[in-house]
Chain A
Amino acid sequence: MSRPILEVSGLSMRFGGLLAVNGVALSVQPKQVVSMIGPNGAGKTTVFNCLTGFYQPSGGVILLDDLPIHHLPGHKIARKGVVRTFQNVRLFKEMTVIENLLVAQHRHLNNNFLAGLFKTPGFRRSERGAMEFAMHWLEQVNLGEFANRPAGTLAYGQQRRLEIARCMMTRPRILMLDEPAAGLNPRETEDLKALIGMLRDQHDVTVLLIEHDMKLVMSISDHIYVINQGTPLANGTPEQIRNNPDVIKAYLGEA
């Protein structure tokens, strides 16, 4: 086993009297698809929020490449290559599809005020590069023909794909998807599975996944963590999880 890219230990998050996450530990190997599952309200999204800096965790350590990131604000963590999607799609709805992708490349573009004012060759090159990169990914997610449509007018499944493409614009190392298959029809879920597989195999992205669709989770994950009521319940390969009596009990209740 190689060194983990993301290592979380003893992560806990307290909201007043409520301990939403308690002692969660994750160890994510590079270029793997790692899933987090658990019943509704188990604290999976809270873990995501802690990892991406939207919450300051009450306790625990988050190491990205052996460097602690749990005290950093959200945008700094994103700059280190940890990028997420949201459970409810968060696109820039009034802006066009291609603009959504250009915005996400903000940090990689020529931001010099004067260069932009006078459209210097360097600025044009940077803009053209951004456009080509955006277009490349639009075709990857089959949205090429919608480039100039306002993002809010796309169908739900398309919006989900666009959100993933938008994350890819930031050249992430870890992509965190919060219920990407929610609300998708079976064919779209198949496409999503292919897309996640491609991200891992061709673009060397580590994917962290929260998902309720067990068929998807079991077929694509390299490793699965189960969380129940904020505490880790089990972890292992899909095969181990499927046969774990504790997991079955948490999901189906006591027989």
Chain B
Amino acid sequence: MSSVFSNLKTACFSALLVLAVAYPVLGLKLSTVGITLEVQGASPARLWAVAAAALGMFVWQLLRNRIGTLWAGAPKLPKLSGQASNWLTLPANQRWFIAGLIILALVWPFFGSRGAVDIATLILIYIMLALGLNIVVGLAGLLDLGYVGFYAVGAYSYALLSHYYGLGFWTCLPIAGLMAAFFGFILGFPVLRLRGDYLAIVTLGFGEIIRILLRNMTELTGGPNGISNIDKPTLFGLSFERTAAEGMQTFHEYFGLAYNSINKVIFLYLVALLLALLALFVINRLMRMPLGRAWEALREDEIACRALGMNPTIIKLSAFTLGACFAGFAGSFFAARQGLITPESFTFIESATILAIVVLGGLGSQLGIILAATVMILLPELMREFSEYRMLMFGALMVLMMIWRPQGLLPMQRPHLELKP
């Protein structure tokens, strides 16, 4: 009897919660009348729908035990996912899988539409960012919420060098990487003593400091207006614009083709792919190098590391520096692709998105990150009509992940080392 009563209590509460959430979101509408906003009730049909949802929730909560037992009798879906993902994350299989992905990624821009290639470029930028953050968060276990700061440093390094000194993309790419790495090193020092929550707060502050600095150093960075007309990358000095600047040749003139703007999009995509592959390769090697193992050991137990003669300071700094370096590369590419950057491109929500990709993919797992970046960037693009509910879906996705796969989509597996030659 008491279980029925407690069910009733939960059911009432859940129904009220549905009303409380759904009525302000769906049931009220803001419309402009003249120059003021007015709150209006939605159509009766919609209000009825909200009420029906609340009622549905009430019944579901009341009868959920009984429904649960009914459901248990239903035939089970074949349980495949666990095994399949296990197979996918085995390092030996992953190599083949990644090789397949690379071939697919190389071929498909020549068939995909312009918009699709553009989105794919964006996905590649996020893959690069997430791979870099994965060093810091996934491998070294240092929660960094200000990663976007390094992204901004990379982007502004290229934008400023190009704006003031007219340097090209390929010259600036390593400089941007080094600048970001330098900032990573600078940030690394004060936060060495911190762990967990404290580290997260300090890095969060760092990311914001960078953004606010960029917005307020108006003479140098253009303040809130940012920097525009940043040059696009060139292919060995061949520009992809319709008409080249003095002393330069365009791609279509050189090869005697008709000008087509999609060439530029495909080229940008291929540059992004190149950079992402480079990041993938370097980080993959790093994970199998003594340094990569030291990062993971540091995440597991810092005191034991110290007792074995490893210097935690240097290991942490190297993780911060290398992670930031990849953000710098991604940032300078981002600046080149957009042609315009403002401080508002580097808000905290970017950091959160990158971190979400890393966590969603499974901390430390590279294939997982590729998959998660695709999901996280593609979903909002595919569901543009529902863009108002983007954050709602974001939240729902996170909750579902927590229930079903708390370890991430494709969690990292330890390499199985062959012992005997």
Q: How far is the CA of A16 from the CA of B316 in the complex (A)?
A: 31
A103 contacts partner chain B, Cβ-Cβ < 8 Å: yes
Q: Which of A94, A104, A116, A128 contacts B291 (CB 8 A)?
A: A116
Q: Which of chain A's residues have a CB closer than 8 A to the CB of B291? A: 111, 113, 116
Q: Which of chain A's residues have a CB closer than 8 A to the CB of B307? A: 52, 54, 74, 78, 83-84, 86, 90
Question: Quick one: given A103-B294, A128-B421, A147-B417, are A90 and B306 in contact (CB under 8 Å)?
Answer: no
Closest to A130 in B: B290
Q: Which of A75, A113, A128, A150 contacts B414 (CB 8 A)?
A: A150
A99 contacts partner chain B, Cβ-Cβ < 8 Å: yes
A91 contacts partner chain B, Cβ-Cβ < 8 Å: yes
Q: Which of chain A's residues have a CB closer than 8 A to the CB of B79? A: none
Within 8 A of A (CB), among B292-311: 293-294, 296-297, 300-301, 303-311
B289 contacts partner chain A, Cβ-Cβ < 8 Å: yes
Q: Which of chain B's residues have a CB closer than 8 A to the CB of A86? A: 303-304, 307
A95 contacts partner chain B, Cβ-Cβ < 8 Å: yes
Interchain CB contact under 8 A, B414 and A99: yes
Interchain CB contact under 8 A, A131 and B304: no
> Would you give the shortest CB distance from B381 to chain A, in whole angstroms?
35
B416 contacts partner chain A, Cβ-Cβ < 8 Å: yes
Q: How far is the CA of A27 from the CA of B285 in the complex (A)?
A: 46
Q: Which of B286, B310, B312, B419 contacts A116 (CB 8 A)?
A: B286
Q: Which of chain A's residues have a CB closer than 8 A to the CB of B294? A: 103, 106
B282 contacts partner chain A, Cβ-Cβ < 8 Å: yes
Question: Quick one: given A75-B312, A106-B310, A135-B419, are A117 and B304 in contact (CB under 8 Å)?
Answer: no
Q: Which of A93, A106, A117, A147 contacts B282 (CB 8 A)?
A: A117
Q: How far is the CA of A232 from the CA of B75 in the complex (A)?
A: 72
Q: Which of B282, B296, B309, B415 contacts A92 (CB 8 A)?
A: B296
Q: How far is the CA of A117 from the CA of B291 in the complex (A)?
A: 11
A62 contacts partner chain B, Cβ-Cβ < 8 Å: no
> Would you give the shortest CB distance from B322 to chain A, in whole angstroms?
9
Within 8 A of B (CB), among A17-60: 52, 54
Q: Which of chain B's residues have a CB closer than 8 A to the CB of A90? A: 301, 303-304, 307
Interchain CB contact under 8 A, B300 and A92: yes
Within 8 A of A (CB), among B250-300: 282, 285-286, 288-291, 293-294, 296-297, 300
> Would you give the shortest CB distance from A90 to chain B, in whole angstroms?
4
Interchain CB contact under 8 A, B416 and A148: yes
Interchain CB contact under 8 A, A167 and B308: yes
Question: Quick one: given A99-B417, A131-B419, are A116 and B290 in contact (CB under 8 Å)?
Answer: yes
A98 contacts partner chain B, Cβ-Cβ < 8 Å: yes
Closest to B416 in A: A148
Interchain CB contact under 8 A, A99 and B419: no
A235 contacts partner chain B, Cβ-Cβ < 8 Å: no
Q: Which of B288, B289, B296, B310 contacts A75 (CB 8 A)?
A: B310
Q: Which of chain B's residues have a CB closer than 8 A to the CB of A104? A: 308
Question: Quick one: given A75-B311, A78-B308, A111-B290, are A95 and B300 in contact (CB under 8 Å)?
Answer: yes
Interchain CB contact under 8 A, A95 and B285: no
> Would you give the shortest CB distance from B166 to chain A, in whole angstroms?
31
Closest to B300 in A: A92
Q: Which of chain A's residues have a CB closer than 8 A to the CB of B304? A: 86, 90-92
Q: Which of chain B's residues have a CB closer than 8 A to the CB of A107? A: 309-310
> Would you give the shortest CB distance from B12 to chain A, in whole angstroms?
44
Contact string, B333-346, partner A, CB cutoff 8 A, digits 1/0?
00000000000000
Most chain A CB within a 10 A radius of its CB, from B282, B291, B308: B308
Question: Quick one: given A116-B290, A148-B417, are A94 and B306 in contact (CB under 8 Å)?
Answer: no
Q: Which of chain B's residues have a CB closer than 8 A to the CB of A84? A: 307
A173 contacts partner chain B, Cβ-Cβ < 8 Å: no
A102 contacts partner chain B, Cβ-Cβ < 8 Å: yes
Closest to A84 in B: B307
A109 contacts partner chain B, Cβ-Cβ < 8 Å: yes
Interchain CB contact under 8 A, A117 and B285: yes
Closest to B310 in A: A106
Q: Beyond the given A84-B307, A110-B290, please list 9 additional residue pairs across the A-B interface where CB-CB is below 8 A.
A: A54-B307, A74-B307, A90-B301, A99-B293, A102-B293, A106-B294, A147-B419, A148-B419, A170-B308
| Interface pairs (28), CB distance under 8 Å | A73-B306, A74-B307, A75-B306, A75-B310, A75-B311, A78-B308, A79-B309, A83-B307, A86-B304, A90-B301, A91-B304, A92-B300, A93-B300, A94-B414, A96-B417, A98-B419, A99-B414, A102-B290, A103-B294, A103-B305, A104-B308, A106-B294, A106-B308, A107-B310, A110-B290, A135-B419, A147-B419, A167-B308
